[in-house]
């Protein structure tokens, strides 16, 4: 087993997850890159050709698959330095027009997937000095976002779970952090057209978020539980801490209003 610190990353075949895997490899970590996208994982492995990269298939909604992935990557009695719960999906549009099964799938991956990861990884994390869990939340967890209602709701759930576990797991020397990017230029947002994206634009890259994940891992147990990514998200998150709910509602209503031609 490698003496390097290790990190397990979900949704690692593309976008933010892939960029994060590359960042951690370059920083000297042994990286477990897991996803349901077998071709994307093969492409990542081919691009790095690193002996410190382990790839594997993982459906984050399946707790048994989590147990198998963890046992394969770190061994049954091993330790886990960092868990990055990145896997997630979204669908934009009016709530009543988005297929219900798709919305249920968003909840299963974005919420149940994070819950499964945290629960099944606990023993590994608890055996590790200064272990870290980094959950990908979103600036859409500041206030419920029109045209992203269910996705926004899932990120509120990630926010709450992160806050609770960071307090609960302190006695085990495990810190839990949520990252809050705004819109990120990945395949997931290529076909996303909402009034909020028209108002605010899509200004972050996958590598911007990956760098923030690496910085959060390096700041284990230090700094805020919630870490905004990018100037826009930092401004929104800071403002939300001092802005009354009615003003947040007005701001989001304005951002979601039709743009004049």
The predicted-structure confidence for 82-116, as pLDDT tens digits, reads as follows 999 999 998 889 999 999 999 999 999 999 999 99
Q: Measured between alpha carbons, how far is 61 from 26 in angstroms, rounded to an integer?
A: 29
pLDDT at 261 > cutoff 50: no
pLDDT at 29 > cutoff 80: yes
Give the 3-state secondary structure of residue 44: helix
Which range (123-132, 157-166, 220-229, 234-243) has the least confidence? Answer: 234-243
> Which pLDDT belongs to residue 22?
97
Positive or negative: CA dihedral 181, 216, 27, 72: negative
What global pTM score does this model have? 0.88
Contacts for 100-103 with beta carbons within 8 Å, 24 or more apart?
103/150
Which percentage of the chain shows pLDDT scores above 90? 64
Q: Measured between alpha carbons, how far is 10 from 56 in angstroms, rounded to an integer?
A: 10
Annotation marks residue 151 as catalytic: yes
Considering the candidates 29, 124, 143, 151, report the single residue annotated as catalytic.
Answer: 151
Angle (CA) 233 34 31, round 5°: 85
What are residue 135's phi and psi, to 5 degrees?
A: -105, 135
> Which pLDDT belongs to residue 156?
94
> Which pLDDT belongs to residue 246?
52
Residue 183: CB atoms within 10 Å:
23
pLDDT at 33 > cutoff 80: yes
pLDDT at 34 > cutoff 70: yes
> Which pLDDT belongs to residue 214?
96
In what order do the strands lie in the sheet containing 53-57? Answer: 53-57, 30-35, 6-10, 82-85, 131-136, 174-181, 226-229
CB–CB of 109/83 below 8 Å?
Answer: no
Region 121-133: mean pLDDT is 97
Q: Measured between alpha carbons, how far is 150 from 109 in angstroms, rounded to an integer?
A: 12
92: left (phi over 0), alpha (psi -120 to 50) or beta: beta
Considering the four listed CATH numbers 1.20.120.420, 3.40.50.300, 3.40.50.720, 3.40.1190.20, the one that applies to the domain covering 6-255 is: 3.40.50.720
Contacts for 21-25 with beta carbons within 8 Å, 24 or more apart?
21/53, 22/48, 22/210, 23/207, 23/210, 23/211, 23/213, 23/214, 24/82, 24/214, 24/217, 25/50, 25/52, 25/53
CB–CB of 8/84 below 8 Å?
Answer: yes
CB–CB of 162/175 below 8 Å?
Answer: no
Q: Measured between alpha carbons, how far is 151 from 92 in angstroms, rounded to an integer?
A: 8
Question: What are the residues facing 7 on neighbouring strands?
Answer: 31, 82
Q: What is the mean pLDDT of the chain?
A: 86
- Distance between alpha carbon 178 and the CA centroid of its chain, in Å? 8
pLDDT at 176 > cutoff 50: yes
């Amino acid at each position: 087993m490698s003496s390097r610190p290790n990190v397990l990353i979900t949704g690692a075949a593309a976008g933010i997850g892939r960029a994060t895997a590359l960042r951690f490899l370059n920083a000297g970590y042994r990286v477990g890159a897991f996803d349901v996208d077998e071709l994307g994982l093969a492409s990542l492995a081919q691009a790095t050709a690193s002996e410190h990269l382990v790839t594997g298939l993982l459906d984050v909604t399946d707790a048994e698959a989590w147990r198998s992935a963890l046992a394969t990557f770190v061994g049954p009695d091993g330790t886990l330095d960092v868990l990055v719960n990145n896997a997630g999906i979204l669908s934009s549009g009016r709530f009543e027009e988005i297929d219900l099964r798709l919305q249920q799938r968003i909840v299963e991956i974005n919420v149940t997937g994070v819950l499964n990861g945290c629960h099944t990884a606990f023993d590994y994390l608890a055996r590790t000095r200064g272990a870290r869990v980094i959950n990908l939340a979103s600036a859409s967890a500041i206030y419920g976002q029109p045209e992203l209602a269910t996705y926004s709701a899932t990120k509120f759930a990630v926010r709450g779970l992160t806050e609770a576990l960071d307090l609960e797991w302190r006695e085990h020397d495990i810190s839990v952090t949520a990252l809050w990017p705004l819109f990120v230029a990945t395949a997931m947002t290529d076909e996303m057209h909402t009034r909020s994206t028209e108002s605010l634009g899509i200004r972050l890259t996958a590598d911007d978020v990956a760098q923030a994940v690496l910085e959060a891992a390096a700041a284990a147990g230090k700094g805020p539980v919630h870490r905004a990514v990018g100037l826009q998200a930092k401004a929104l998150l800071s403002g939300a801490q001092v802005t009354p709910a009615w003003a947040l509602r007005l701001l989001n209503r304005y951002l979601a209003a039709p743009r004049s031609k």
